[in-house]
Structure formats: C-alpha cells, structure tokens
Amino acid sequence: MTALEKIGSQPSHLGGGVALYDWDYLVQDDRAHRLIYTDPAIFEAEMINIFGGTWTYLAHESEIPHENDFITRRMGLRPLIVVRDGAGKIRALYNRCTHRGTTLCRWDKGNTKSFQCPYHGWNFVNTGKLRGVPWPEGYAEDMRDPKYNIAQVPRVESYRGFIFGTLNIDALALAEHLGAIAPMIDQWLDRNPGGKVVVCEANRFRFKGNWKLAYDNSCDGYHVAYSHRSLLETENRFAGENAKGMAYYRNSPDTQPMYMRYTGHGNHFKDKRPNLEKRPGGLWALEAAHPGMEHYEAQFIRRYGERAFELLDLAGSEPVNINVFPNFSLLGNHIQVFEPVSVGETNAIWYGTMVVDDGRLGDAVTDVNALRMRTQEGFPNFGEVDDIANFEQIQRGLMAAEDEWVYMHRGLGIADRIKQHEDGTITAPATDEAFMREHLKEWKRLMRARPNLAIQREP
C-alpha cells in the first residue's frame, strides 16, 4: 500500500485565508456576491477545496492509448503528467521535480518510460519512483527514501474513457459521484457505433474572466437568442422560420420541447432532443445542415444512397449539453474543459472527437469523421466567441465594487415551474437559472468543507 500524505489538516496555510468568510452571505438563494468571481483569496481556496476536494476531469483514455503514453494536464493550478505506466495503470503524477520543484516534463504529450528533470538530471520512472540522481556519492543519505518519489493524485478513476482525479480520499467513487448524469454520458457515447470516441486535437481559447462564469453559462438557455443572434441568423438564412439548430430559442424557449435537469453534485444537463424528428437524418437536419453544408449532404447521398442520413446523423452534433462540475462539459460532439489560470483568467478548451468503427461503418468512417470535424468547427468558432465576450465583460462589470450582487433567480418562486423528482433530480424550463443556483450550493458546500485531502508517492 502506497503511503498517503495528508494535506488537508493544516487550516492555517491551505485556504486558511478564507476561514472566516461567511459563505451563506456570499451565495444566497437568489443571488451571489461579486467577490466569488473577483477575490484572489477565494480563488486560492477553490484550487484546494474545489479542484482538489471534488472530482476534476483530467483527460480521455484515447489520448494515452498505449503503455508509457503520457499527456500533460492541469488539476486547478497543479501541473500534472497523466501517464499510462509500463503495467498499463493510469496515474496522474505531479509535473514537479522533488529536488527543487521545476516542471519535469515540458512536452505536451509523448511516450516514455522515464522522465529526466531538465535542471539537474534526476531521473524518474513513469510510476513516479526516483530511478537515480547524477553523482549520488554527493549525498550523505539514502536517496531511495520514498519522499523523493514524485507526488501523485491519490485517486484517479475513469468512467467510460473519461479520466477524473481527486485529492479527496473520502470522495464517493466516481460512478457514484456522477450518479444520474452517468446515463446521459452513456447515451452520448452509445449513439455512436461501438459506443466509443477518440479525442482529437483541440480548439483552445483563453479569456479574461473567472472560471465559474463559463460553468454558470454551461446550462444557460436564457442568453442564446441574444448572445448568439448572428449565429442563429447565419444558420437560418436560407432555412425559413424556426428551422435550424438553436432557432428554437428565438420564440418563448420555455414552451419548446426541451428542459434542463440538475442531477446533484453540481452536475446538470440541458436536453434539446425532444425537438428532434425521430427519423434517419432528423438530427442532421436540425443541428448540422447549415448553409455551406449542402454539398457535403449531396456527396453523402451520392456515395451512400439509403444509408446517407443515418451516417449524416453521426456527424451531426448531439443536442444535449452535459456538465460535470467543476470543469467538464459534453457539448455537441465536443469535450469542453475549463482550466482556471488565475482569479480573472481561464482556458476554455474544446476537444474534438472521432467515432470509432465497430465494423458497421466500413469505409464510411473516414467521411463521417471528416464531416464531424467540419460541424465541430461551427460552434467553437462562431458561438464560443460570443460567450467569451460575455465572460470578459462580466469580469469587467464586476470590478465595480459597490454594486455587489449577481442575480440568478429566474424561475425561483413561481409555483409548479421547477419540479423536484423522487430520485432527487430537479427539472426546469430551459431558460431558468435553477441549474446555477444548484451548482453554487454545491460550490458553497465544498468551500465550507474541511476535505480529507492527500497526495501519494510510490513506496
């Protein structure tokens, strides 16, 4: 059994700066205080209590398919090397040399059995164990002491290929933590033949705003008609009224066949699938057949005849937004990840995904994946920029210190609008801010908690 080093029991130096904050004042039923987005001390505590105290998405197994593959990632501000070691075990090593603290690995990804520190050459096996140091006779003590092995995240678990990590040794098992959001992830995967995706490269954005602004927007159906007006108009230029994609947000979106569901632990999804016509090509027609895509459709019909529309659906974006607190979304065919950089700066990364042939697609798999890439270019290029502009402008607005509150009470207090179900989940119309009220309750619970955190080293 590997030794755990407890790190959560010293309130004075880990997040201790906010020990006296009144969390109930900062996050109320209907509003949140601007400080939760602007205060560096709160941000610092979040990097421990949120990006440490709960499960954080790290990477996808398809990014490290072979033994000794690695990819560098972050968990909050901790630089990590997510590696599949020589025995096939997935580990999240701190990308930090135990000698003087520099990052060990400066590559984004690769394949290696060991990491050699660029500073003084200490060499570590990809299990995290120190293999050797240059000129060991210069050390009086035994360098095989485990304290020189690389720190690692003590709990790393995957759900159907999605790798998450937490420092919280008391956290629920990942599948339990995902709970009622897990079947949504299953459906997102299982609509593809073989029920698998492979992650491709990413569209990377950085914005000058707090990371929560992105998560607060992840299930927001209220902004679409206004913030994404130009995208809506482009999508529908040749398609008539209410025809495509996000057009159903235009006229009273709350009466359209879509809804949001809060599933607990900060997780939620917005399901627009009831809008789909249940026929081959139904998803393609609604979500992807935008101006400029006509020739792709014609080419599929020419090449695949009867099968064309079934294949086009595989390229079209899934109309469900699935959000796992604090940093993971499945949006269309993308995996979107939020990476905090500082209290007022965040990376928003959109990983594209390919479908894997299980024998049913044959030669068509290449065409499906090529078209999937075209449709994946749509929202990140034409929609995400609208959202990011909002996040940056919110951060600017919140610098007005005297005007303290952000309101999130849409839907609150209206009888029969928000439904609490027996399984503990909550549903509401698409424009309600119930999702935000609920994930901020989870945020508050985590910020107030004294989580049982630890790191681990090989013995």
Of 139 and 226, CB closest to Fe ion: 226
Query: Binding-site residue total for Fe ion (CB under 5 A)?
Result: 1
Residues within window 384-413 making contact with Fe ion, judged by CB under 5 A: 387
Residue pointed to by tokens 């109309």: 319
In 3D space, the residue among 200, 205, 204 whose CA is nearest the CA of residue 60 turns out to be 200
Listed in sequence order, the residues at least 6 apart from 93 whose beta carbon sits closer than 8 Å to its beta carbon are 80, 81, 82, 83, 126, 128, 150, 151, 152
Residue 101's region, left for phi above 0, alpha for psi from -120 to 50, else beta, is left
Q: DSSP string spanning 186-210? A: HHHHHTSGGG-EEEEEEEEEEESS-
Question: Of all helices (H) and strands (E), which one includes residue 77?
Answer: none
Stretch of 3-11, 21-29, 95-103, 243-251 contacting ligand FES, by CB under 6 A: 95-103
Q: From the list Fe ion, ligand FES, none, pick the one residue 100 interacts with, judged by a Cβ distance below 5 to 8 Å according to partner type.
A: ligand FES
Output the smallest distance, CB 256 to Fe ion, in A: 16
Sole binder of ligand FES in the list 59, 81, 117, 428 (CB under 6 A): 117
Classify residue 351 by burial, with Cβ atoms within 10 Å: 0-12, 13-18, 19+.
buried
Q: DSSP string spanning 151-189? A: PB-SEEEEETTEEEEESBTTSPPHHHHHGGGHHHHHHHH
Q: Does 130 bind ligand FES (CB under 6 A)?
A: no
Of 99 and 307, CB closest to ligand FES: 99
Stretch of 18-26, 66-74, 115-123, 145-153 contacting ligand FES, by CB under 6 A: 115-123
Q: From the list Fe ion, ligand FES, none, pick the one residue 387 interacts with, judged by a Cβ distance below 5 to 8 Å according to partner type.
A: Fe ion
Q: From the list Fe ion, ligand FES, none, pick the one residue 351 interacts with, judged by a Cβ distance below 5 to 8 Å according to partner type.
A: none
The residue type found at 332 is G
Work out whether the CA dihedral 306, 308, 311, 313 comes out positive or negative: negative
Query: Binding-site residue total for ligand FES (CB under 6 A)?
Result: 9
Q: From the list ligand FES, Fe ion, none, pick the one residue 361 interacts with, judged by a Cβ distance below 5 to 8 Å according to partner type.
A: none
The residue type found at 445 is R
Q: Does 93 bind ligand FES (CB under 6 A)?
A: no
The residue type found at 358 is D
Q: How many CA atoms lie within 13 A of 218 on its CB side?
A: 34
Output the smallest distance, CB 114 to ligand FES, in A: 13
Q: Does 99 bind ligand FES (CB under 6 A)?
A: yes
Of 99 and 273, CB closest to ligand FES: 99
Q: Does 122 bind ligand FES (CB under 6 A)?
A: yes
Sole binder of ligand FES in the list 2, 9, 10, 102 (CB under 6 A): 102
Sole binder of ligand FES in the list 100, 144, 396, 450 (CB under 6 A): 100
Q: Which residues bind ligand FES (CB under 6 A)?
A: 97, 99-100, 102, 117, 119-122
